[in-house]
Structure formats: C-alpha cells, structure tokens
Amino acid sequence: MCYKQVLYMDYSFLNDNKLVPVVVLDSAQDALPVLGALREGGIKVAEITFRTACAREAIALACTNIKDMLVGAGTVINAEQCAQAISAGAKFVVSPGFSAEVAGECKRADVPYLPGVATATEVMAAKACGFDILKFFPAGAMGGVKTLKAIAAAFPDVRFLPTGGVNAENMKEYLALDCVVAVGGSWMVKKDVESTLRLSREATEALK
C-alpha cells in the first residue's frame, strides 16, 4: 500500500544539518557519551541504527538526555522496529530500502521517513508512494557521485541523502550536487569519545 494521497512529512531539519552520523552501538550505555561527543563537535542530528539489540533503549536515552540533538532511527526494516523507534522518541526513521509498512507507521506517527534506493526503478517506486527525499544507499558501492548524478538527472524533483562509502574526503563532492540534501556516514563515530569529538569538529569545520 502507498500513502501518496495523504502523505506529508517535514524534512526541513536536513536543510540546516548536512551531516547525519550513522551510529551503531553495542551497548545502550554508549549512547550518551557517543552522541554527546557528536553534539559537542557541532553535529546536531544523528541516526542510531537497529543493527544491534540495544537500539530502542539507546534512542530513548539519547532523546531523553540530549535535548538539543535530533535523534532518529536507522536500518529500520519492518513495522515492529519502526514502532519501537517511534515509541522511544525517534524524530525520523531511515531504511536501507523502501518498506510500505514502515511508511505507514511513520505516517500515523507524523514522523519523517527516508527510504533507501539504489536504482532508477526504486526511485520511481518510492516516488509513486509520495516520497521525494530518499536515501541513496550504498552510495560508494553503487558508483558514488557519478552514478548519483546520472540517476538524479532523470528525477529533478527528488533529493538524496547518500550514505555508504561517504567520508571526510568525498563528502564535499556529494554536497556540491544540487540533488543532495545532506550526507550520512559513520567515519566520525569511533570507539573512543575523544576521536569522535575530534572528527566531528573537523567535519563541521570543513563545511563552514
């Protein structure tokens, strides 16, 4: 099922936040130090992925304790995960592909959903369901900037969040494209807080 006739989602937070860290946590207790370091480094938005079992608890901790950071959920692949993320306080939801049931959960909760696409066919399917802000994933493996430019040329009304293979060296190349609203990546998220803080600062400074 698609939701084109009733779908409206507010993606304006991406206009002022060009970096969306992809955060994978092995323990919920790591959420506050890791996201705190990102925030201190100047990054105001992050997605905590559902690749690990602690995702829901980590999102809840971050949303409760870091009030000036927009925390979302990533790698959400079904309605159950989506409901958990939203109940924990996630302010947006990201998927590696498109899921109609996740779209439905997000619509009901009025939470922005960014489905993933990798081909023109997938962009067309997402557009048919009312989406014009899409995650391009895995960006590097699919050909990077060159492929994204080629796909985007056919869809001038669609904007992309490239993720997967985006790093400090190529983020500006992606962001220079008119079709790119922001970039996602994990290069600034390290095991130790000091490295996360340093890399976050370097990334935000590079964009000024």
Q: Which residues are catalytic?
A: 47, 135
Cα–Cα distance, 78 to 109 (Å, whole number): 15
Cα–Cα distance, 127 to 135 (Å, whole number): 13
Q: Is 47 helix (H, G, I), strand (E, B) or coil?
A: strand
Contacts of residue 41, Cβ cutoff 8 Å, sequence gap at least 6? 188, 196, 197, 198, 199, 200, 201, 203, 204
Q: How many residues does the chain have?
A: 208
| Bridge partner list, 163 | 184
Residue 75 near residue 52 (C-beta atoms within 8 A): no
Measured in whole angstroms, the distance separating CA 118 from the mean position of its chain's CA atoms is 15
Q: Would you give the DSSP letter of residue 164?
A: S
Helix (H) or strand (E) holding 129: none
Angle 79-88/55-65 helices, nearest 10 degrees? 30
